[in-house]
C-alpha cells in the first residue's frame, strides 16, 4: 500500500516489507503463509529468493532492503549457518541506523537468549565461521548484528508464545500494518488540521463498539472529503478482517456499470478476479458470502446516491464492529438535523464561522430551511443570535480594516434577520 509505505519524512518506499529468513527452516511453512497474509492486506512485500543469489550478486537484495520501510527478520534454528543471512542482517541494521527503517525480529522456534548469547545451534554455526576463510572482522560484525537483533525482542515476536503459526501470523500482520500506517503522519495528506477531522470521524465511527455503523462525509467538491476518508482508512484498516477503499463510485456507475463495481469490490477483497456474470443478485450474494459475519471496513468515495450502496451490497449483514464510510456531494435534507455536542446543526456552525458557501448550499435544500432557521442550540440561540455574535478572529481577518469588518458582520445579521420570523427573536 502506497500510503502505508511512505515515511513521515516524505520518502516514497518501493516495498512496505522485506522478509529475511533461511529457506530450509521456514520457507514452505511459516514464511510462505506470512508473505501471503501481508499481500492480502495490500502490503507490498519483498520475499528473499535463492535465485537472487546466483553468482554471489547481492545487488538486487541490497536494493530491496534499502527500498523497504520495514524488515521482518525470521531468526530460526539454522539462520546463523548462512553467511548470506548474516551479511544481509548487518545491512538491514545499517539501514535501520541510517534511514530509521523499522526492524522486527521473529524468533521462530528458537530462544531469543540463544540468538543474543550465541548458544545452541548459533554457537555451533559460529564455531565453523571462526575457523572458516571469513575475515575475523566480518565474523565479529555478524555476532554484533545477532546481539542487536535479539535486543529488539520487545518489538519482535517469539513463536513459543503462540498456539500455532496462524495465530502468530495474524498478530504480526496486524502489528505490521499498524506500524506502517503510524509512520505516515497526517501532514503527508496535505491538510492543515487533519487531526481534528480524524478525531471527529473516530467519534462518529465509535471503533470500540461491537455494532455495524455507517458514517458520512458530505460537502461540496474540493473541500477534502476524499483526503479525510483516505486518512481515516489508512489509520484504522489494520483493525479489520477485510478492507476496501472504492473510489470514484459515481463515475464507475456511469461508465462501467453496477456489476463491474461488484466484481472490482470482490477482487479487492479476495485478491482474485471473480466474475458476477452480469447478475446484480449473484454479485451481491457473492459479496455477502465473502464478507458475511466478518468485521469489515468499506469506504465508498464520491457517491451520487445513497441507494447505490444497496445496489452494490444487497441486503448486507456484516459482522460486529464493521464500519462503512461514505463521501458524497449530494444534499440530503435529513443531514441538516444532525447536531454536534452543543446541539448545533450545520447551518448554525456555518453562520457562527461565517462560511457563506456552506450556508448557501444548505439553505438551498428546500422548504426544510424554514424550520432549520428557527432551531435553537443548547443555549437557546438560533441563527440570528449566532450572527449577532462577533465572528472568530480568523474570519474577521479575511477583510482588512475595522470598518469593512463591521460592514461584513452587519450584512450577515441583516440577511439572517429577514429569514427568522419575529416570534423567534
> Catalytic residues, which ones?
88
Residues contacting residue 92 through CB under 8 Å, at least 6 positions apart: 18, 20, 65, 71, 73, 101, 103
Number of alpha helices (DSSP H) and beta strands (DSSP E) in the chain = 20, 9
Listed residue (212, 229, 154) closest to 3, CA to CA: 229
Residues 34, 18 contacting (CB under 8 angstroms)? no
Q: Terminal CA-to-CA distance of the chain, rounded, Å? A: 55
CA dihedral 362, 364, 366, 368 (to 10 degrees): 40
Query: Beta-carbon neighbour count of residue 118 at 10 Å?
Result: 20
Residues 284, 314 contacting (CB under 8 angstroms)? yes
3-state SS assignment for residue 345: coil
Residue 12 pairs in a beta bridge with: 6
Distance of CA 123 to the CA centre of its chain: 42
3-state SS assignment for residue 392: coil
Listed residue (169, 113, 115) closest to 142, CA to CA: 115
Query: Longest C-alpha distance within the chain, in Å?
Result: 98
Residues 19, 46 contacting (CB under 8 angstroms)? yes
Residues 363, 333 contacting (CB under 8 angstroms)? no
Residues 68, 4 contacting (CB under 8 angstroms)? no
3-state SS assignment for residue 391: coil
Listed residue (205, 235, 212, 242) closest to 321, CA to CA: 212
d(CA 175, CA 168): 11
d(CA 259, CA 243): 19
Write the burial class of residue 346 (CB in 10 Å: 0-12 exposed, 13-18 middle, 19+ buried). buried
Query: Beta-carbon neighbour count of residue 212 at 10 Å?
Result: 16
Amino acid at each position: 500500500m502506497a500510503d502505508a509505505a511512505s515515511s513521515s519524512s516524505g520518502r516514497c518506499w518501493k516495498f512496505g516489507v522485506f522478509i529475511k529468513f533461511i529457506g530450509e527452516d521456514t520457507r514452505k511453512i511459516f514464511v510462505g503463509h506470512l508473505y501471503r497474509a501481508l499481500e492480502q492486506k495490500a502490503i507490498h512485500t519483498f520475499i528473499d529468493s535463492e535465485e537472487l543469489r546466483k553468482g554471489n550478486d547481492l545487488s538486487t537484495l541490497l536494493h530491496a532492503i534499502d527500498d523497504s520501510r520495514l524488515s521482518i527478520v525470521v531468526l530460526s534454528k539454522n539462520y546463523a549457518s548462512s553467511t548470506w543471512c548474516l551479511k544481509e542482517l548487518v545491512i538491514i541494521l545499517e539501514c535501520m541506523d541510517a534511514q530509521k527503517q523499522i526492524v522486527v525480529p521473529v524468533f521462530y522456534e528458537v530462544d531469543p537468549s540463544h540468538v543474543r548469547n550465541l548458544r545452541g545451534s548459533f554457537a555451533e554455526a559460529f564455531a565453523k565461521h571462526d575457523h572458516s576463510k571469513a575475515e575475523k572482522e566480518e565474523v565479529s560484525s555478524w555476532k554484533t548484528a545477532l546481539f542487536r537483533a535479539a535486543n529488539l525482542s520487545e518489538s519482535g515476536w517469539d513463536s513459543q508464545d503462540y498456539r500455532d503459526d496462524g495465530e502468530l501470523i495474524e498478530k504480526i500482520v496486524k502489528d505490521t500494518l499498524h506500524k506502517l500506517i503510524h509512520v505516515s503522519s497526517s501532514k503527508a495528506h496535505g491538510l492543515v488540521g487533519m487531526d481534528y477531522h480524524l478525531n471527529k470521524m473516530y467519534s462518529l465511527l465509535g471503533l470500540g463498539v461491537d455494532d455495524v455503523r455507517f458514517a458520512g462525509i458530505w460537502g461540496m467538491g474540493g473541500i477534502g472529503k476524499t483526503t479525510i476518508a483516505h486518512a481515516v482508512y489508512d489509520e484504522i484498516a489494520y483493525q479489520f478482517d477485510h478492507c476496501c477503499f472504492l473510489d470514484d463510485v459515481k463515475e464507475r456507475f456511469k461508465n462501467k456499470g453496477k456489476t463491474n463495481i461488484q466484481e472490482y469490490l470482490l477482487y479487492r477483497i479476495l485478491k482474485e478476479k471473480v466474475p458476477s456474470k452480469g447478475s446484480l443478485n449473484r454479485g451481491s450474494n457473492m459479496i455477502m458470502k465473502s464478507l458475511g459475519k466478518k468485521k469489515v471496513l468499506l469506504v465508498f468515495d464520491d457517491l451520487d446516491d445513497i441507494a447505490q450502496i444497496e445496489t452494490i451490497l444487497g441486503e448486507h449483514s456484516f459482522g460486529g464492529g464493521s464500519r462503512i464510510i461514505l463521501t458524497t456531494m449530494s444534499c440530503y435534507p435529513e443531514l441538516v438535523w444532525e447536531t454536534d455536542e452543543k446541539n448545533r446543526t450545520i447551518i448554525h456552525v456555518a453562520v457562527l464561522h461565517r462560511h457563506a458557501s456552506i450556508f448557501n448550499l444548505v439553505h438551498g435544500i428546500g422548504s426544510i430551511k424554514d424550520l432549520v432557521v428557527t432551531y435553537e442550540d443548547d443555549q437557546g440561540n438560533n441563527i440570528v443570535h449566532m450572527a449577532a455574535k462577533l465572528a472568530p478572529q480568523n474570519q474577521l481577518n479575511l477583510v482588512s480594516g475595522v470598518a469593512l469588518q463591521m460592514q461584513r458582520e452587519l450584512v450577515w445579521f441583516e440577511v439572517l434577520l429577514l429569514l427568522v420570523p419575529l416570534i423567534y427573536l
